[in-house]
Amino acid sequence: MELSDWLLTSAERGNSATRLDRRRSDRRAWSYGNLVRPLIHGASYFPALLSTIRAQRAGDLLLFTDWRGDPDERLDGPGSEIGSVLAEAARRGVIVKGLLWRSHLDRFQFSEAENRHLGDAIEAGGGECLLDMRVRPGGSHHQKLVVLRHPDRPEHDVAYVGGIDLCHNRNDDAAHRGDSQSLRIAAAYGPHPPWHDIQLAIRGPAVGDIEAGFRERWEDPAPLTRSPLVRLREFAHDEDTRADRLPAQAPDPPPCGTHIVQALRTYPNRLLRGYDFAPDGERSIARGYRKALRRARALIYLEDQYLWSPHVVECFAEALTAHPGLRLIAVIPTVPEQDGRLTLPMNLIGRITALDRLRGAGGGRVAVYGLENHVGTPVYVHAKVCVIDDVWASVGSDNINLRSWTHDSELTCAVLDEGPDPREPRDPGGLGDGARGFARDLRLELMREHLDLEAPGVPLAPDALCDPLKAFDAFAASAAALDAWHDHGRHGPRPPGRLRTYRRPSFSSTAKRLYTPLHRLLVDPDGRPFGLRRRNEY
């Protein structure tokens, strides 16, 4: 396998100002020798995070970024509230540094107060947490990462990257009964929204890449906000607005596995003054997807919170058009998280347009599903996962939309396994790359959950899902059985599985004309320079 067929070269990243690739003597844009473990759901991630934080000692380093943080969110039962855990680490002498998106005002149902309170808890323990509003108007810092370094024990170094915030709703498991500490979203999800999500635990040299990316944001000399009103509020609350100096970055951890990891990011073309480390922004997530999709031949497997930008799905549509054997499975939320009279149609209009484009390109080769738990409550899909031909896998904070690919800050990791997978088909794409263990195992783990493959009476051998066509058909059959059970009044035993066929809502032409501009302006804005927008390039 030629890695540059799947991964971006340093030049292809499109951001010569970053030190992410420059930090290596050969300027290679990825790292070898990593061990990556997917942590499906908050109930897997949070206890692992708690254990690694509590094992840190004086002089160790803990760095994190987040979109939202709730200080009282428990990682693993009472006494494990994230604010207290981070404060206790700081009191032990761990160097704790965090960057939280400041967020918009609470009256718009974002998380300004919660993020400020988490920062207060950390600083009370002696750590430092800055509220960062260095974004485009209407934008956010959406990255979710935690880096734990141990100068005298580098074999313990780990980075967590993915879609799981340190906040309410996220601590769910495969049963999908929801987090006991919940925030209400759309009414269909009930008082404790079932939540499907994923984070990666990364060990090896790639930890140094994730840390270097954090340091670029931490050391950005621009003020945390340009707003005079916010600056007054910073003064009134005596907020910390200047980042303290970090200790020098330690050498990368030693190799410990067979996984190749490439850190991909989004930073917008920030108006007036850009980021020092990305003056024109960075769109390596978009570029990474587009490059990998050109190799897609058999199966694209997606789990995504949004999937609602027709501009972004064009590269998926082009792949489907070019390769008549290619199939696409997408698992998305049945209902967007906001169900207001204005917000719901604004969200849906982009999804309808995007799905129409995909189905126009692939017809019956495109299958879109929602999830439900065993009592019939929809599961909110917050995961951001893509697996292409069981070779290239991506997990991160980014969604399939323009906001994630151009406008907000995002971080994802593309993973390729040096070890080929011996199960048939050994080369589903037919290009000689061979299926790879990490990508295939990740896809199978997710599919098994959605199909209830561990339930009694499921007539499908686990390895049968290795075949892309059989996997595609298994999803279709499972969803059809569950749909029919619901359509016939839920009589008799409930069929195994959690998949429901996504049914496209309809809009009048008048509604489309009304809501499409609002979607583009408010829901899915474009953060590219004008020339790239005009050419739909990244």
Residues 363 and 472 in one domain: yes
Do both 216 and 298 map to the same domain?
A: no
pLDDT digits (tens, 9 = 90+) for 474-501: 999 999 999 999 999 999 999 999 999 9
Q: Domain check: are 133 and 253 in the same one?
A: yes
Instruction: State mean pLDDT over 135-153.
Output: 96
How many angstroms separate the first and last alpha carbons of the chain? Answer: 26
Which pLDDT tens digit goes with each residue over 295-336? Answer: 999 999 999 999 988 889 999 999 999 999 999 999 999 999
Query: What average pLDDT does range 205-217 have in this prediction?
Result: 98
Q: Is position 6 within any domain?
A: no
Query: How confident is the model over 100-113, as pLDDT tens digits?
Result: 997 744 444 444 55
* Secondary structure of residue 108 in the 3-state scheme: helix
Q: Could you give the CA distance from residue 510 to residue 502 in angstroms, rounded to a whole number?
A: 24
Angle (CA) 536 391 417, round 5°:
120
The total number of structural domains that make up the chain: 2
What distance in Å separates the CA atoms of residue 84 and residue 70, rounded to the nearest whole number? Answer: 11
* End position of a domain, from candidates 243, 258, 273: 258
Whether the bond into 255 is cis, omega within 30 of 0: no
Q: Tell me what pLDDT residue 459 has.
A: 65
| Chain segment 411-460, per-residue pLDDT in tens | 999 999 999 999 999 999 999 999 999 999 999 999 999 999 976 666 67
Contact 399, 531 (CB under 8 A): no
Residue 3 binned pLDDT confidence (cut-offs 50, 70, 90): very high
Rounded distance, CA 528 to CA 520, Å?
Answer: 13
Return the minimum-mean-pLDDT range out of 36-50, 235-249, 370-384, 404-418.
Answer: 235-249
Claim to verify: residue 297 and residue 254 sit in the same structural domain: no
Distance CA 418, CA 288 (A): 19
**Quick check: is 21 in a domain?**
no
- Domain containing residue 332: CATH number: 3.30.870.10
pTM: 0.95
Structural domain for 226, as ranges:
35-258
Q: Of 295, 290, 285, give the one whose Cα is nearest residue 322.
A: 295
Is 266 among the domain residues? no
Do 366 and 485 fall within a single domain? yes
Does residue 323 sit within a domain?
yes
By CB atoms closer than 10 A (0-12, 13-18, 19+), residue 226 is middle
* Mean pLDDT taken over the chain: 93
**Which pLDDT score, from 0 to 100, does residue 416 have?**
98
